[in-house]
Structure 1
Amino acid sequence: MPKTSHSPASVPGPPTGASPRRGRRRSLRDWTSTEPGAWSIVLFPSLAAWAATGPTWTSTWLVALWAVCYCVQFTASRWCKSRFRRRYLTPMLTYALILAAAGVPFLVLHPAILWWAPIYAVLCGVSLLASWMRRERSLWSNLAAVLASSAMAVVVAPFGSRCPAPSATDRLTWPVAPALFPGVGVEIAVSFALALFGSVLFVKTMIRERGRRGYLHASWTYHAVLVAVGFLCDVLYGVLALALFARAVALPLVARRRPVPVKAVGITESVMSLLMLVLIPLGA
């Protein structure tokens, strides 16, 4: 904040009680995600696998751990983006300690899940690098988030009641532990990855890349191919892809004639996310 020549007494202060309220709001924002729609991207693939494979205490535990992982991620991203300001350190360390306390017992009981550690280390590194560069809205950063969230369907699926769970003695290599990759989990993960990346393209055509023909044509082409692939695989996937294609075409056309509020885009994507959550497990 720029310095002035005024003395502290000569500068009018905020109304009584306003500063503490602002402080409390700022403190709360430090602990919560400022992107409500991100929660659906983060949790819906794992919740879809949790429901499709039969909920168990173990799979529920794992989904809860993934939610805490997201809390660690978004606070760590803010810390990196701010160039390590102390303000964001306490939330990050608190969430990390909660994750360690709840996660280490899970790893002791299910060590085979460590197969995923290198993959998620890379994806987390990409996310933090994007935050450091202040490119967290870039296409490559969004792709890393989509892959991390979608892959959780494969991570969660083996612990469902309808899948043979990997035993504690399983090795950490795929040929020895095929139970780590049940077909239903892979199918849900791929379906969400394709659908969510389409959402990334669509949102860019409506907000950050609005008016750029290249992004618009890429979005329309991608969604058209998604419709064809969807109906080839399953009618429910086709219906979902058709709904995604319709909104990807209609809203940008409407935006050419009248402003479309960001809130309307967010509501549309919330509806599409719920549609994914319902149709993808049913199709799998």
Structure 2
Amino acid sequence: MVLFPSLAAWAATGPTWTSTWLVALWAVCYCVQFTASRWCKSRFRRRYLTPMLTYALILAAAGVPFLVLHPAILWWAPIYAVLCGVSLLASWMRRERSLWSNLAAVLASSAMAVVVAPFGSRCPAPSATDRLTWPVAPALFPGVGVEIAVSFALALFGSVLFVKTMIRERGRRGYLHASWTYHAVLVAVGFLCDVLYGVLALALFARAVALPLVARRRPVPVKAVGITESVMSLLMLVLIPLGA
């Protein structure tokens, strides 16, 4: 799922060798981050160091040539350094399931849509008609990339709230009410922007309401929650690029 925002931008803006290369690099970045998080959580045990270094070497070998050819992408380095730092801190504190850690992960994966979009073959030039754009360096922040990133960030954060109501925060009314309110607002905003966004938000809202209500009467297996989220994520991957 961490790849879905970048894959959505890759598809929406027209795949190229460069954008494909970048998406592959992002996949390796995730492997580095995941293994580094386990290393931090273990208090730097040696057994977790080897996988991290292996992925880091692969990333360096495949990524340095990309940086040489496209140095402007280093603009994103400070942002991702902060997000990575938050993730590693959460692992060190053994709070990688906390809301703030989840938010950092959502922002990191969603922002990749903006990073990937400029390398697409059909990435449109900045326009005054763009629903979402960025006034600074618009070539690095194409409207379609920003729109996909924001859409995924909003949808994925809703998923974070929903999963918490089903597992770690199950039975806590505060989280349940926050999830329902958030998804209701998402439906309204979605239909205001595009009917496809509205349909997606409505599907997310339905599962955010239905499954916790079902769980009050009988246990809902974690596997069922995971399958539901996989289906919802695939729906995001299809509808968000079409809406953008």
1:7-29 superposed Cα distances (whole Å, 9 cap, x missing partner): xxxxxxxxxxxxxxxxxxxxxxx
The 1:174/1:113 distance shift into structure 2, 3 A limit, reads: farther
List aligned pairs for 1:182-197, cutoff 5 A. Answer: 182-197=142-157
Aligned pairs, how many?
A: 244
Structure 1 equivalent of residue 119 of structure 2? 159
The question of whether the paired residues in 2 share the 8 Å contact of 1:165 and 1:180 is answered with: no
Structure 1 residues 173 and 109, CA gap change in structure 2 (3 angstroms): farther
CA 1:124–1:172: 2 relative to 1, 3 Å: farther
Show CA shifts across 1:198-245 (max 9, x none): 000000000000000000000000000000000000000000000000
For the 8 Å contact 1:112–1:170, the answer to whether it is kept is no
Corresponding position of 2:61: 101
* TM superposition shift of 1:162: 1.0
**Structure 2, unaligned stretches of length 5 or more?**
none
Shift of 1:178: 2.2
**Percent same amino acid at aligned positions?**
100
The 1:129–1:234 alpha-carbon spacing in structure 2 relative to 1, beyond 3 Å, is same
Report the equivalent of 1:90: 50
CA distance in 2, matches of 1:169, 1:267: 38
* Structure 1 residues 175 and 229: CA distance shift in structure 2, 3 A: closer
- Structure 2 CA distance, aligned partners of 1:63 and 1:166? 22
CA separation in 2, counterparts of 1:236 and 1:175? 26
Q: Is the 8 A contact 2:134 2:143 kept in 1?
A: no
The 1-side partners of 2:60 and 2:144 are apart by 29
- Pair 1:154–1:96, CA change in 2 (3 A): same
- Secondary structure of the 2:123 match is coil
Distance 1:78 1:167, change over 3 A: farther
Over 3 Å counting, the alpha-carbon distance change for 1:121 and 1:250 in structure 2 is same
Q: For residues 12 and 91 of structure 2, what CA distance do their matches in structure 1 show?
A: 34
Task: Calculate the TM-score normalised by the size of structure 1.
Answer: 0.82
What does residue 26 of structure 1 align with? none
The alpha-carbon distance between structure 1 residues 217 and 172, as it changes in their structure 2 partners (threshold 3 A), is closer
Supply the distance in 2 between the matched residues of 1:81 and 1:190 (Cα, whole angstroms): 30
In structure 2, relative to structure 1, the CA distance for the partners of 1:282 and 1:174 (3 Å cut) is closer
1:176 Cα deviation from its structure 2 partner = 7.1
Alpha carbons of 1:169 and 1:68: their partners in 2 closer, same or farther (altered >3 Å)?
Answer: farther
Deviation at 1:173, TM superposition (A): 15
How large is the Cα RMSD of the aligned pairs? 3.8
Q: Is the 8 A contact 2:23 2:116 kept in 1?
A: yes
Structure 1's 247 and 169: CA in aligned 2 closer, same or farther, altered over 3 A? closer
SS of the residue 1:171 aligns to: coil
Instruction: Give the ranges of 4+ consecutive aligned residues of structure 1 lying more than 6 Å apart after TM superposition.
Output: 164-176
In structure 2, distance between residues paired with 1:170 and 1:98 = 37
The alignment partner of 1:168 has SS state of: coil
What is the DSSP-based 3-state SS (H/G/I as helix, E as strand, rest coil) of the residue aligned with 1:209? coil
> What is the distance in 2 between the residues matched to 1:160 and 1:236?
22
Alignment check: 8 A CA contact 1:115 1:172 kept: no
- The 3 A distance-change label for structure 1 pair 167 and 95 is farther
C-alpha distance in structure 1 between counterparts of 2:149 and 2:129, whole Å: 26
Shift of 1:165: 9.3
Shift of 1:164: 6.6
Structure 1 window deviating more from structure 2 (184-193 vs 162-171): it is 162-171
What is the DSSP-based 3-state SS (H/G/I as helix, E as strand, rest coil) of the residue aligned with 1:178? coil
CA distance in 2, matches of 1:73, 1:161: 29
- Deviations along 1:22-64, one digit per CA (max 9) or x if unpaired, are xxxxxxxxxxxxxxxxxxx310000000000000000000000
| Structure 1: stretches of 5+ with no match in the other structure | 1-40
Tell me the TM-score normalised to structure 2 length. Answer: 0.95
1-structure distance, mates of 2:133, 2:166: 43
